[in-house]
Amino acid sequence: MSHNINQEKLSSGRFTEATDAFVEEFTASIQFDQRMYKQDIQGSIAHARMLYKVGVLTAKEEDAIIKGLEHIWSEIENDQMHWSIKQEDIHMNIESRLTQMIGVTGKKLHTGRSRNDQVATDIRLYVRDQIDLIQQDLRRLQAGLVELAEREADTIMPGFTHLQTAQPVTFGHHMLAWYEMLVRDEERLLDCRKRVNSLPLGSAALAGTTYPIDREYTAQLLGFDRVCQNSLDGVSDRDFAIEFASWAAIFIMHLTRFSEELILWSSAQFQFIDLPDRFCTGSSIMPQKKNPDVPELVRGKSGRVYGHLVSLLTLMKSQPLAYNKDNQEDKEPLFDTIDTVRGCLRAFGDMMPALEVKRDNTYRAARNGFATATDLADYLVRKGLAFRDAHEAVGLAVAHGVKTKQDLADMSLATLQGFCEVIEQDVYEVLTLEGSVNARNHLGGTAPAQVRLQVAQAKTRLAS
């Protein structure tokens, strides 16, 4: 069987025969790494300026290279760039085009660097840029939850443990619980960014370079906080990508929790909320259906994000120092993780402020399941009973309520006194849902006053 071959690669000098056409396509990454063109060009411009600063390039060569790179940037932005699999990746495609434009000077750009440290730099720049965009998306969703919490600060709903009615809470308080999860996600994301923002350029292939490079200057030009201190580690480290994927897995887990509750609350059995029609679909056979497709799909996308984390961990497992071709496989899971996270954030950021809460239904549901039983126990303790005795008395009252299908608040005073004689008329103040939530007026409590206080603090934080 014959094979097509080519001899047009910039790095073909060592070889006596060209790469097999299938192998060429199999090993190429230009199909997916071209999305890093901005970062690749930014890195190359900074590298050219550094080479001029240390005397490797003349001013004329530096100017020609930078103008050429800026022109290539424009070509890519205007869909005028021809991407070639023969040049394998984003780095070689851009360098090849530059050399085509400005001649032999274009070949001088690669002085003092390798594709190994170049790709490591590109990925860090790309992830850093995406982290900054994801933080904006996160804050948009946080603001939507805070807005919803303020709107529903007085809305009473049942709070659950084990998915059983536990105590009444406010819907606003529940939204602020989601907000707190996202605050932690943002903190973790920014902490991850610190380790992303370290410059590997200058590590060259694995051992550094003999040229008098100034890595601190390059780091300054590219906005890196520090330089990677070891060239072997600099080209082969992908911890930052794994850490980002780990962050994404925790974040998407939070969104699955949000999604599950939205799915439950929008069901006919709960009817706590109404999702806007534009975030739902119908059934091909059942005309009454309104399916919560957006939260269901977000819930399902957790699998691919978790899978990408495992892929990256497995990719790096047992890799010897320094760079290995295995690392080409880091980009697709990383890119898809970023795309998935940003898509989910956009969907939730659009959906949550438009959520409609069915307040009558949430209130009615909170009256079922003896949600104020703990309030009655606390009342008895304040009257002098030991908590265990109060717990037993309330348990008997609840058992009577189950039998007679009466809520505690609906029982007569005489009936309640039959379970504990210290009960007086004022008991009904604590048995109301409003009394229950208002009584929890402390830091972190569900009282509407606390919700509004937390909303104000959140708005201040989001405005900072």
User: ∠ at Cα 280 (275, 286), nearest 5°?
Assistant: 115
40: left (phi over 0), alpha (psi -120 to 50) or beta: alpha
Which of 162, 284, 318, 464 is an active site residue? 162
What is the C-alpha separation between 15 and 426, in angstroms, rounded?
A: 93
Give the SS3 label for residue 328: helix
Which of 11, 74, 267, 283 is an active site residue? 283
Residue 165 bridge partners (DSSP): 160
Q: How far is CA 367 from CA 364, 379, 447, in A?
A: 5, 18, 17
The yes-or-no answer on residue 162 being catalytic is yes
User: ∠ at Cα 167 (383, 401), nearest 5°?
Assistant: 70
**Contact between residue 224 and residue 198 where contact means Cβ atoms under 8 Å apart:** yes
Provide CB contacts within 8 A for 39, sequence distance 6+. Answer: 121, 122, 123, 125, 126, 129
- Rounded to 5 degrees, what are φ and ψ at 227? -110, 150
What is the C-alpha separation between 282 and 284, in angstroms, rounded?
A: 7
User: ∠ at Cα 111 (110, 116), nearest 5°?
Assistant: 55
User: ∠ at Cα 119 (114, 121), nearest 5°?
Assistant: 100
Provide CB contacts within 8 A for 3, sequence distance 6+. Answer: 20, 21, 22
Residue 274 bridge partners (DSSP): 356
Provide CB contacts within 8 A for 351, sequence distance 6+. Answer: 275, 276, 279, 294, 295
The H helix count followed by the E strand count for the chain is 19, 6
The yes-or-no answer on residue 266 being catalytic is no
Pairing of strands 156-161, 164-170: antiparallel
Which positions are catalytic?
A: 162, 283
